Structure 1
Amino acid sequence: MRDIAKEVYEKMKVGAAAWIRPVSAKGDTLESFQAAHASALGMEEEGLIRIVKVLRQDDGQIQEIRIQRLA
């Protein structure tokens, strides 16, 4: 399984903000995308990013994560 949060992080410049979203063309589903939140939380604990906003569907599944690169 690919690490979407890490992929987005590596493409960003320090101080930039971006949305992390599942990409169906790359095989992502909402179910598999839930792991991206766990990855983003780990990166936040390491001080690499700040999670700005998490958008959820009515059923509680995460559909988008807004992050800011700190390092």
Structure 2
Amino acid sequence: MRDIAKEVYEKMRVGSAAWIRPVAAKGDTLPDFQSAHDNAKQLADEGLISIVKVQRQADGLIDAIRIQRLA
């Protein structure tokens, strides 16, 4: 499984913000995307990003994560 959070982080400039979302064309599914939140939390714990917002569907599954690059 690919690390979507890390991929988005590497493409960002310091201070910029971005949404992390599953990409169906790359084989991402919503249930598989739940691990992206864990990966984003690891980046936040390392002080590399700040998690600005976590968007959830009515059933509680995460469908988008807003991050800001700090370093």
Gaps of 5+ in 2: none
2:23 aligns with 23
1:10 aligns with 10
Deviation at 1:16, TM superposition (A): 0.3
Deviation at 1:56, TM superposition (A): 0.1
Deviation at 1:39, TM superposition (A): 0.1
CA distance in 2, matches of 1:41, 1:9: 12
Deviation at 1:23, TM superposition (A): 0.0
Gaps of 5+ in 1: none
Name the TM-score, length of structure 2 as normaliser: 0.99
Name the TM-score, length of structure 1 as normaliser: 0.99
2:53 aligns with 53
Q: CA RMSD in A?
A: 0.2
Runs (4+) of structure 1 moved beyond 4 Å?
Answer: none
Aligned residue runs from structure 1 range 26-45, under 5 A: 26-45=26-45
Q: Structure 1: which amino acid aligns with 2:43?
A: M
Q: Structure 1: which amino acid aligns with 2:42?
A: G
User: What is the aligned-residue identity percentage?
Assistant: 73
Deviation at 1:3, TM superposition (A): 0.2
